[in-house]
Chains A and B, each alone.
Chain A
Amino acid sequence: MEIVMAVVIGVLFMCATYLILSKSILRIIVGTGLLSHGAHLLILTMGGLKQGAVPLLSEEAASYVDPLPQALILTAIVISFGVTAFLLVLAYRAYQELGTDDMERLKGNDTHE
């Protein structure tokens, strides 16, 4: 199971890297979304995968999953959700104001402030 997860995470990171390196802002934002998905799955995998048990039932529970990675993922998901929403609004506003979503044209130098 860990191997499958590792491959999935790898594919997510690969797609994220490809998208982040493109020029359109929207594709970059989708890329950052995939990157954080990959990171969240990575935490889950790194906490150890077990089947058929929930996090901490009682003190006598025979088997349970480490709850900490799940708490970490929850926090990280909320943060990345908030930042992505902000980034989307900012990208739209920047598109309205600057008239382009092409990172090549957003370089900026001394003559073009």
Chain B
Amino acid sequence: MDEKPQNVHSGGGGYGPCIATRDSKPRDRHMIPVWFFVGVLLLVCGLIILATGIYEFSHPPPTVLASLHPALWWGALLTLVGGVYVYFYWPKKS
């Protein structure tokens, strides 16, 4: 937001003034948003866990409630969420 500067004073280092209330406009960096990386992480982890969940139909792990197949539906959930994030935050070429 644009605000009239009320006063100037040094910004914590004593070297050079800075505006008291004005917020600097962010530079246009074309940085890949962090949400894309979140999506990639969830997608890859989701696919690995989903594959494991499918494998567990024939080789169930010795865990409590293994009959609910948590790896299968949790892997599917991560794959879905990760895929959505990757799709929506895919880096666009300028």
User: Does A pair with B?
Assistant: no
Q: Which residues of A contact B (CB under 8 A)?
A: none
